[in-house]
Chain A
Amino acid sequence: MEEEKKEITEKELDIETIQKERNEYLEGWKRAKADFINYKNEETERTKRFSAITKEMIVADILPVLDSFELGIMSSKDEQSKKGMELIRMQLEEVLRRNGLEKINASPGDQFNPLYHEAIGEKESEYAEGTIAEEVGIGYTLDGRIVRPTRVKISKESKK
């Protein structure tokens, strides 16, 4: 009788351990499965993002070229070649625009907003202190994401 009782208790303990193990394994399995599904969904998202990132990298590399055009046009004295350069710039801008690139608007007197603007210096101007005094470098968004903030000088109090 005692013997049997002991055996039953032992078996019960065994079952308990096995049940515990089973739950642990099931939990691990469920988790792995869930992780995999999540991973797959994320991977799809990432693949989508990947082409966006590739585009962003290429476009970001082209921006200095646009800057150079801008500067070239500004310092060109020969009207004919100036016109030509303007047209090439427009052509380039059009290509980039079709790919989702947009200029960030920033005019003197606008409120400075670090979400879109990067301050690189101060300048005395006719505009209210702390607002944009001058746009120094054009900023761009690509499909709504900021690829480069507009570089601006901030208006400081006039000494006059």
Chain B
Amino acid sequence: MSKILGIDLGTTNSAMAIMEGGEPKVLENHEGNRTTPSIIALSKANERLAGLLAKRQGVVNPKNTINSVKRLIGRKWTDAEVQRDKQWLSYDIRESAHGGVEVKLGDRWHTPEEISAMVLQKLKADAEAKTGETISEAIITVPAYFDDTQRQATKNAGEIAGFNVRRIINEPTAAAFAYGVNKMKNEKIAVYDFGGGTFDISVLEIGFDPETKEQTVEVKATGGDTHLGGDDFDKKIIEHLVSEYKKAEGVDISNDPLAIQRLKEAAERAKHELSTAMETEINLPYITSDASGPKHFMMKLTRAKLEDLVREYIDRSIALVKEAVTAPAPKGAGLKLSDIGEVVLVGGQTRMPAIEEAVKNLFGKEPHKGINPDEVVSIGAAVQAGILQGDVKDILLLDVTPLTLSIETLGSVATPMIPKNTTIPTTKSQVFSTAADNQTSVEIHIGQGERPMMADNKTLARFILDGIPPSPRGVPQVEVTFDIDANGILNVSAKDKASGKTQSVRIEASTALSKEEIERLKQEAMAHAAEDEKKRGVIEAKNHAETLIYTAEKAMKDAGEKVPQELKDSINTKITNLNAVKTGEDKEAIEVKTQELSEELQKIGEIMYKENKAGDTPTDQTNHDQPSTGNN
């Protein structure tokens, strides 16, 4: 079955997404960008251009560069909006035969649907090139305030572009879908959409009938300002910079197109930077020159100043939100602000911390964010497409492990086998060894939790693997395998590679912890993080010390007479010293004594090296750093 394309057909920019592997994915256009300007042009060479290319020549070809056609689609010529927009649109529009609007491109008059279709056609072609598939179906989003005619016109645009338009859905609903706020709950949500050129607020009521599992989305109220957006912010910053520069240097750069171009780019960059930084510097050398020589532009802009500059816009948007939520119908939803269960942020401008803060303060709750606000609507449309094409089925929903599953190793350390949030089913194997010489059995102790010490986690099971042939510590290889199936049932097996002996255990309820229990274990882990880290440090030092003592004793035994008694005595003293501190909890003391022993031990190496120069016997290559299962 062909895939359904989710399209956010915007006033200034459009975006598209598709479901892949059960996840929505934004598709890049031919130019490699994730958004496409909703602009169509007929170039001076009589070539039709769409998207970025149309935008690049817009300044010198304003009559034949059609932007913002979404403001006209499905409207009557006599609509107040059309009469108002007519004033500033750079291209010619006129009343059509049926009382609608027509747009002039070249010598021909087109309906707004046809222009929108050209934008959609570009998206379709780019999506097909990107996926290598024919895409004939689409879901297109529209503002919640669009009436039937506007919706029908948008649908027609899709059909003209060659799509079978499966649904026309509301932009705020799509954004809510993207965040999955529609999951089986009755709820009222507010979607705050601050884009480049328009500001929209929508209040939705989501209803869910548990009997029929049917879900309804009702638009309770919409509001906004069709001429308020992030572009206003940019303009404000540039104005400020120009006027400050004039004050400081006495030069007006507002009429120098190149200077303004550079300033515009710098202002946009500064605006983005101030979303994360508190202060930024705008540095444009040789911005202009006068009789005295070249002049430079150098100015600091703080986040506080930026917020001060655009405060009026933010306040205006907040006032519009209040009205849409609280005003009695038909102006608003007639609700209390506290009735709103969830808030969703859409549009690039909502990345500004001051906006997020203002929305948060108004509703007294954290708004949903995290998905790229420029893409969230197209992603929501793709999610809806996924439901239609059957991608989002319960059967394909995979669970994750809520807590880390570990095995106990030397010193009661919980060594993670499967970290928390791993998607299941999954399998992990690791090879362990013994901690003592001639150890013939190991205990496999399986625990669950985030704490580094096994005693602090929940024990799921223990079992013993015996029959390991006697050998020096670190030599036997015990392979431990954790396997969780899709139902969360954990199988743990341990296998001695030498004897082939295997033991295993099956744990039914590895993921069946209650929500409270999971939360408690996570909280505990967080609360004890520092203390645990310290404990683990001590144990690591102890393990290291133990390994070194073992190595030292073995080395002395192996070297035998070759090592002078003097050195043996000195090493034995160091071992005694290390043993004395090893039982305590002083990590530093253990490390110091370990270091001392290690230095002393190197002398054996030196002697052996000199001895071996003639003999060339291979050195012992046993790796003693392997974790060893704790059963000593």
List residues of A whose CB falls within 8 A of some B CB. Answer: 24-25, 28, 31-32, 35-36, 38-39, 64, 67-68, 71-72, 74-75, 77, 111-112, 114-115, 117-122, 129-130, 136-137, 145-146, 149, 151, 154
Pair A28/B395 contact, Cβ less than 8 Å: yes
Pair B53/A114 contact, Cβ less than 8 Å: yes
Asked if B265 is at the interface (CB within 8 A of a chain A CB), the reply is yes
Q: Which residues of A contact B459 (CB under 8 A)?
A: none
Provide 5 A-B residue pairs closer than 8 Å at the C-beta atoms, listed in order of the A residue. Answer: A68-B284, A119-B61, A121-B257, A129-B44, A154-B60
Given A114-B54, A149-B56: A28 and B396 interface contact (C-beta under 8 Å): yes
Pair A145/B32 contact, Cβ less than 8 Å: yes
Scan residues 24-64 of chain B and give those whose CB is less than 8 A from a CB of chain A: 31-32, 43-45, 49, 53-54, 56-61
Q: Which of B10-18, B242-250, B286-294, B336-344 contacts A (4 or more CB under 8 A)?
A: B286-294
Pair B49/A121 contact, Cβ less than 8 Å: no
Give the contacting residue for A118; candidates B45, B56, B266; CB below 8 A: B56
Pair A35/B286 contact, Cβ less than 8 Å: no
Bound CA span A25–B53, Å: 47
List residues of B whose CB falls within 8 A of some A CB. Answer: 20-22, 31-32, 43-45, 49, 53-54, 56-61, 257-258, 261-262, 265-266, 284-286, 289, 293-294, 393, 395-396
Q: Which residues of B contact A122 (CB under 8 A)?
A: 60
Given A25-B395, A117-B56: A112 and B257 interface contact (C-beta under 8 Å): no
Pair B395/A38 contact, Cβ less than 8 Å: no
Residue of B nearest to A121 (CB): B257
Q: Which residues of B contact A32 (CB under 8 A)?
A: 21, 396
Pair B21/A36 contact, Cβ less than 8 Å: yes
Bound CA span A28–B293, Å: 72
* Chief secondary structure at chain A's binding surface: mixed
Q: Which residues of A contact B61 (CB under 8 A)?
A: 119
Which one of A77, A111, A130 has the highest number of Cβ atoms from chain B below 10 Å of its Cβ? A130
Pair A28/B393 contact, Cβ less than 8 Å: yes
Pair B56/A35 contact, Cβ less than 8 Å: no
Pair B57/A112 contact, Cβ less than 8 Å: yes
Bound CA span A38–B285, Å: 48
Q: Which residues of B contact A121 (CB under 8 A)?
A: 59-60, 257
Residue of A nearest to B47 (CB): A114
Pair A72/B294 contact, Cβ less than 8 Å: yes
Pair B284/A130 contact, Cβ less than 8 Å: no
Bound CA span A145–B32, Å: 9
Bound CA span A123–B395, Å: 64
Pair A24/B395 contact, Cβ less than 8 Å: yes
Min distance, Cβ B349 to any Cβ of chain A, angstroms: 21
Give the contacting residue for B21; candidates A39, A112, A130; CB below 8 A: A39
Pair B60/A119 contact, Cβ less than 8 Å: yes
Q: Which residues of A contact B266 (CB under 8 A)?
A: 64
Given A36-B21, A38-B21, A114-B43: A119 and B57 interface contact (C-beta under 8 Å): yes
Bound CA span A39–B20, Å: 9
Residue of B nearest to A148 (CB): B265
Min distance, Cβ A56 to any Cβ of chain B, angstroms: 9
Residue of A nearest to B286 (CB): A71
Pair B262/A120 contact, Cβ less than 8 Å: no
Given A35-B22, A36-B21, A75-B286: A114 and B257 interface contact (C-beta under 8 Å): no
Q: Which residues of B contact A146 (CB under 8 A)?
A: 31
Min distance, Cβ A59 to any Cβ of chain B, angstroms: 15
Min distance, Cβ B158 to any Cβ of chain A, angstroms: 26
